[in-house]
């Protein structure tokens, strides 16, 4: 079956499941990814999936393609995207694929990919398309194993973070996959949690799971008005971004969040390099400088930011969409739950 080039985007692979990102296409991409991974001496691939209705079948076909290409697959099941990133560190594979449509409408799905610790973007994603259309796929026979990494992920965060006082919080998961972990995580950290839409439902019946749009925070704001709460947290569809409301229900945009994170990180890492995207307020650079840090503005896009972090050794990075990357005490990937 012919595969369309349109789904091979700058930061990921993405498309409407019935039209372009079909199960057959995902299996072909899996085999092409295996071919590229093996060329970089990467044989084991971790895969995870979000809560979309199409994700179980796509993950199954992805595994089939990877194994047909000669890679061994570790399937960690339905998890937020940052848990997939965590698994590639914990299991020492460095290589993984997340089946997720992120914050896109229900009919969409996609793939976020990394090989040997490097996020695939731009030419790296286009290379997979060329492997398919030029029929250069490797043929092999890999294995498939299932592994539950969520308890380990939770333990790692809970053991790292201690709250100064218990907090009363509201958590809106927008029926996205963050719902499988958010309540347990914040409860174990000592918070009293008021839940909104934490049941995973790929139809997203309540509101769109994109906290960067103010209209998607209205339910959270109303809940906070009705209760005495310290903070409100809203996660996107795959849990790698977070929106924050303060105790007055005001939106704390990502560049303002970065000021708080920078102040915290610079206490332990004086002079640290901190990256932010071009959409952030110009006040952020001044703020970082005044705290003794080194600010660096970089182009928007989570793949670009991650690559620049790796290149420069930055301890912290963030962009206005809500992707926040902690290297200090964490692993340098975007994780809305950890943030």
Which residues participate in catalysis according to the annotation? Answer: 14, 102, 323
By the 8 A CB rule, do 137 and 65 touch?
Answer: no
Residue 184 CA to residue 76 CA, distance in Å, equals 18
Tell me the helices (H) and strands (E) count for the chain, helix number first: 10, 16
- β-strand pairing of 118-119 with 251-252: unpaired
Alpha-carbon distances, residue 103 vs 108, 171, 210, 219, 323 (angstroms): 9, 17, 5, 17, 13
Pairing of strands 72-78, 144-146: parallel
Helix ranges (H only) for the chain are 23-39, 55-68, 81-90, 123-133, 150-160, 182-188, 218-226, 254-268, 283-290, 302-312
Residues 6+ apart with CB under 8 A from 226: none
Q: What is the greatest pairwise CA distance in the chain?
A: 60
Which distant-in-sequence residues (6+ apart) come within 8 Å of 213 by Cβ? none
């Amino acid at each position: 079956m012919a595969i369309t080039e349109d789904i091979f985007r700058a930061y990921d692979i993405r498309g409407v499941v019935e039209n372009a990102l079909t199960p057959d296409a995902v299996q072909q991409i899996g085999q092409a990814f295996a071919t590229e991974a093996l060329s970089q001496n990467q044989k084991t691939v971790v895969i995870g999936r979000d809560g979309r209705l199409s994700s179980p079948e796509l993950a199954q076909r992805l595994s089939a393609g990877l194994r047909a290409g000669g890679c061994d697959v570790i399937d960690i099941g339905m998890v937020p995207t940052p848990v997939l990133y965590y698994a590639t560190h914990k299991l020492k594979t460095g290589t993984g694929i997340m089946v997720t449509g992120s914050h896109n409408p229900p009919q969409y799905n996609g793939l976020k990919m990394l090989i040997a610790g490097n996020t695939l973007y731009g030419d790296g994603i286009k290379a997979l398309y060329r492997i398919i259309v030029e029929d250069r796929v490797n043929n092999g026979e890999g294995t498939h194993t299932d592994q539950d990494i969520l308890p380990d992920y939770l333990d790692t965060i809970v053991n790292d973070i201690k709250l100064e006082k218990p907090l009363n919080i509201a958590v809106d998961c927008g029926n996205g996959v963050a719902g499988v972990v958010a309540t347990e995580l914040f409860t174990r950290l000592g918070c009293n949690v008021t839940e909104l839409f934490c049941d995973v439902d790929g139809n997203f019946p309540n509101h769109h799971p994109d906290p960067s749009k103010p209209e998607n925070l209205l339910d959270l704001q109303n809940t906070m008005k009705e209760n005495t709460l310290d903070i409100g947290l809203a996660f996107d569809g795959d849990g790698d971004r977070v929106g924050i409301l303060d105790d007055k229900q005001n939106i704390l945009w990502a560049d303002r969040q970065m000021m708080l994170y920078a102040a915290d990180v610079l206490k332990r890492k004086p002079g640290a390099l901190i990256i932010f995207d071009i959409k952030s307020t110009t006040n952020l650079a001044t703020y970082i400088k005044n705290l003794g840090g080194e600010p660096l503005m970089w182009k928007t896009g989570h793949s670009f930011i991650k690559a620049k972090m790796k290149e420069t050794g930055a301890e912290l990075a963030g962009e206005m969409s809500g992707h926040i990357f902690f290297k200090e005490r964490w692993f340098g990937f975007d994780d809305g739950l950890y943030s």
